[in-house]
Amino acid sequence: MRDRIVSLRRHVLARHLFLALVGLLVVVVVVESVSDYRNTQLASMAYLGIAAGGLTVLTGINGQISLGHGALMAIGAYTSALLLPDRDATVPLTVVVLAAVAVTLVVGAAVGLAAARLHGPYLAGATLALAVAVPGIALYFKETLGGEQGLRVVMPDIPVWVLDAVFFVTGQDLTRSRFTAYVGWLTLIVVFLLLANLSAGRTGRRWRAVRDDEVSAELAGIDLGRARVSAFMVSAAAAGAAGAILAFTVKLAAPSAFTLTLSLTLLAAIVLGGLGSLAGALIGAALLTFLPSVVTDIGRNAGLSDIQAAELAPLVYGLVMVAVILLAPTGIVGSLRSGLQRARSRRRTTSPTTTSKGTAS
């Protein structure tokens, strides 16, 4: 039995590594074939996808509702800004991302411990307070954190070996926008690989058990508080990485970028894509990134002014949100899975009938 479990874990890990490799190849092809503007959008989709991936693990798999992930992203972004104040900074980007993850992980542990006994609207209220308070910290410590103007993030020069490697593989010089897109998507692939393995393993089964039935989980020997805190810490770490990528993309860490709207937007993304699904989180991030620009372009082509076309985007996004909730209550990925399961069940029910008819004839 134990050998079977080990074999199953290896199979899951091999499948996830294969999907990560395929995703990396797709990223290279897409990044190299689009414009700098699209690469900036892809970088934005990357940090939204990372944050949404962590949130869907917390909410969809462990059952905790968080309205403070925008604040956790702010902690990661400000950590990155403090480590990259000017072009002379010699801290590698990998170290910057890891530092943002570590700082946010500590804050997530503290918040998770404080909120371990809270449920439903009480937990949402506690994280809402976090979302409101954290941006205000930057205003209070304005001498260190820049106040309302925020901190400027200066990306260091691209390493020579990276330039040579990209030119060897693609035959093109690496621009800064493409470099940022690569950094964002490499981070997303690594984060999603870790989240997928955690969710598919023993830790993920504990999170689901706590979500489904707390009494049964406790009778099975699961520490409810530890499970909730660990889920919050993992989700916070993902938010910290997302905040670092956001800082790299927009070159700024300012309170106006981390309002409550960002937290609600992330929650809307995982609801649209499908709770508990990393693929759904990525779909939700794609809708958040590309739908507003597509709708704005359509509005301009229809004769609307720039302001009217920009105001049209939130309306269309809201209509899409309502339509998905009404037509696909389990999200886009959940509805697709349900449709595939129904199709398989129909095939199973019709195949014996077909076989019996052939035998009778």
Three-state secondary structure of 267-296 = HHHHHHHCCCCHHHHHHHHHHHHHHHHHHH
**Cα 170 from chain centroid (whole Å):** 28
Tens-digit pLDDT string for the chain (361 aa):
566 666 667 778 888 899 999 999 999 999 999 999 999 999 999 999 999 999 999 999 988 888 889 999 999 999 999 998 776 667 888 999 999 999 999 999 988 887 777 777 777 888 888 888 888 888 888 888 888 888 998 888 888 888 888 888 888 888 899 999 999 999 999 999 999 999 988 899 999 998 888 888 888 888 888 888 999 999 999 999 999 999 999 998 999 889 888 888 898 889 888 888 899 999 999 988 888 888 888 888 888 887 878 778 778 877 887 887 787 777 888 888 888 888 888 887 776 554 455 555 4
Residue 117's CB: how many other CB atoms inside 10 A?
Answer: 11
Q: Quote the pLDDT of residue 232.
A: 92
Task: Give me the domains of the chain, ranges plus CATH numbers.
Answer: 2-259 (1.10.3470)
DSSP state of 157: P
H or E segment and range at residue 235: helix 224-250
- pLDDT at res. 313: 76
Q: What is the CA radius of gyration of the chain?
A: 22
Q: CA 196, 245, 257, 61: dihedral to nearest 10 degrees?
A: 10
Look at the alpha carbons of 81, 82, 84, 87 in this order and tell me if their dihedral is positive or negative: positive
Helix/strand/coil for 156? coil
Instruction: Give the other-Cβ count within 10 Å of 150's Cβ.
Output: 23
pLDDT of residue 361: 45
255 CB contacts (<8 Å, ≥6 apart)?
74, 135, 136, 138, 139, 148, 150
Distances (CA, A) of 146 to 137, 153, 192: 10, 12, 32
Residue with tokens 């991030």: 285
Dist. CA 79–CA 76, nearest whole Å: 5
Residue 133 neighbours by CB distance under 10 Å: 12
